[in-house]
Structure 1
């Protein structure tokens, strides 16, 4: 099943042929859950990423460009979010590795916790509506999970800043932040299918899923989803302002949301989006543990 941190903890290093993934796992310069990091690095070492991804990336990006031309003429011809999520569900269940599924569901879960952390630490923001997404099974994907995740980011930023403008609220450093929304331990996911067909790594799957996402949505919906990836910078600034550690944004790579990037690179930026969420959540977990230790 899942290859946790124990896989890398027990791996012997060969000084004449050190493992790239083992090296990155042992490096602790960036906050990251050990189990999530192990899952990501083990999954990155799959043969599909080395041999299949280069070809898939070329074909997928070409498809996105051609589809963009089609959508320019008929932007709203196809609008089938239910069919989109059914396709994503089938791909995740029967083709994607258990490590990749673990990381995908974990992303939605952590994203909801980060938004709740920000809300909990802005005085007067109690009434901002939230739609927490905490899937525990691949089956939960069928409930418009991906689209709702994108909408949550936009609506949270809009509602927070409306409250800031109308009520004079302020995102500011908090001496002892409220970390009650942040999970320290493992999330109780259901077991992921692990058969011969579950061979595909996360990066390859995302490259395939991105044009599928584009095909089943309107042009506006796909552009909105693609541009949402650069909101990592906005969320990161809110969280690090509360914790008074803006220098920690060094681990964030999806930046400059006012300068949208071409949609054909959305798959790579989606992978970065997942990493950014893990790093930010890891930073919050570390701060929570430090505060708990200080109070003992």
Structure 2
């Protein structure tokens, strides 16, 4: 797809904030991803529709929370939820937003596989790699949340049983990392596919809350707190704590109100994109691997001491 930001006109008396964000290299994102993200952010849907829908969505969540006091605890219609999500993504969500949502399942699975491959104990993973929006119907969002918590439990039970911890790996295994074979051009482009990513997530969140059990919804919301957990895993493997700098979902031991879940979900998606981009750049040799450099310095110091 044509990247309009690469040829964007620059008027010094009226500089475009989107061009500035695109050209800025402080955030590790591929140009194609950054262009899609900014194109989605700068559209009319986010500018005019999001401010209207956000307070209504949050009010709906409060009403649903009260309503659930009177519903059975096991009230759940997960299959219906995911069919509604797939239908709306196909009919109303913008191509850029759909592409970013579908990428997220791939990238999240790859990051967990990276941690598993470089852990000192064997850890199983259950990757999700959907290639079509209709695959959402197979409870894809719920399975994504379950995978994350199950991975954290599986990894740490194995580490505790072996009396081990994650440590720096001078030569990490990057073999599982790749760009998903998803194309924006293949996303639905009907006359109503205009809804931006943030507005879509604001609408989906109360529907998610209504059609899942309280336990499933709270787990989904609290999974966003694990951004820092997974980033710490990667930072330990890479000996690179500075890669935590752009995390915004804060401490995993302090759950936040579900009212802000939609906004935090957007941050979650962006932090996953940036972590994956950093790992890809290391895999290609574009930036040094801190653990490798640390090991070289350690070996050199030992040689000097030995002499």
TM range (shorter): over 0.9
Residues 1:14 and 2:8 are matched in the alignment: no
Q: Give every structure 1 segment of 4 or more consecutive aligned residues whose post-TM-superposition deviation is greater than 2 Å.
A: 72-78, 185-190, 291-294
* In structure 1, C-alpha distance between the alignment counterparts of 2:246 and 2:72, rounded to whole Å: 36
Structure 1 residues 77, 292: CA separation in 2 closer, same or farther (over 3 Å shift)?
closer
C-alpha deviation, 1:291, in angstroms = 7.0
Q: CA deviation digits over 1:129-181, x for unaligned, max 9?
A: 32100011111111111000000110000000000111123211111110001
Match of 1:166 among 161, 170, 173: 161
Structure 2-normalised TM-score? 0.90
Residues 1:180 and 2:175 are matched in the alignment: yes
Structure 2 partner of 1:94: 91
Question: Given that residues 81 and 211 in structure 2 are in contact (C-alpha distance below 8 angstroms), is that contact kept between their aligned partners in structure 1?
Answer: yes
Structure 1 residues 18, 118: CA separation in 2 closer, same or farther (over 3 Å shift)?
same
Question: Given that residues 118 and 238 in structure 1 are in contact (C-alpha distance below 8 angstroms), is that contact kept between their aligned partners in structure 2?
Answer: yes
Match of 1:232 among 220, 227, 232: 227
* Unpaired runs of at least 5, structure 2: 290-307
Structure 1 residues 75, 282: CA separation in 2 closer, same or farther (over 3 Å shift)?
farther
Moved more, 10-19 or 274-283: 10-19
C-alpha deviation, 1:124, in angstroms = 2.2
C-alpha deviation, 1:186, in angstroms = 5.2
Match of 1:136 among 113, 131, 134: 131
Question: Given that residues 82 and 139 in structure 2 are in contact (C-alpha distance below 8 angstroms), is that contact kept between their aligned partners in structure 1?
Answer: yes
Match of 1:279 among 252, 274, 278: 274
Question: Given that residues 31 and 279 in structure 1 are in contact (C-alpha distance below 8 angstroms), is that contact kept between their aligned partners in structure 2?
Answer: yes
Structure 2 partner of 1:191: 186
C-alpha deviation, 1:72, in angstroms = 3.0
Question: Given that residues 75 and 219 in structure 1 are in contact (C-alpha distance below 8 angstroms), is that contact kept between their aligned partners in structure 2?
Answer: no
Structure 1 residues 256, 73: CA separation in 2 closer, same or farther (over 3 Å shift)?
farther
Match of 1:221 among 216, 219, 224: 216
Classify the secondary structure of the residue corresponding to 2:194. coil
C-alpha deviation, 1:76, in angstroms = 2.3
Structure 2 partner of 1:247: 242
C-alpha deviation, 1:75, in angstroms = 5.3
* In structure 1, C-alpha distance between the alignment counterparts of 2:154 and 2:249, rounded to whole Å: 22
Q: CA deviation digits over 1:99-140, x for unaligned, max 9?
A: 000000000100000000000001222xx2321000111111
C-alpha deviation, 1:253, in angstroms = 0.8
Q: CA deviation digits over 1:263-295, x for unaligned, max 9?
A: 11100000000001001101101111117999x
Q: CA deviation digits over 1:72-93, x for unaligned, max 9?
A: 3435263010000000001100
* Unpaired runs of at least 5, structure 1: none
Structure 1-normalised TM-score? 0.93
* In structure 1, C-alpha distance between the alignment counterparts of 2:69 and 2:230, rounded to whole Å: 31
* In structure 2, C-alpha distance between the alignment counterparts of 1:193 and 1:49, rounded to whole Å: 19
Residues 1:153 and 2:153 are matched in the alignment: no
* Larger Rg computed on CA atoms: 2
Question: Given that residues 109 and 128 in structure 2 are in contact (C-alpha distance below 8 angstroms), is that contact kept between their aligned partners in structure 1?
Answer: yes
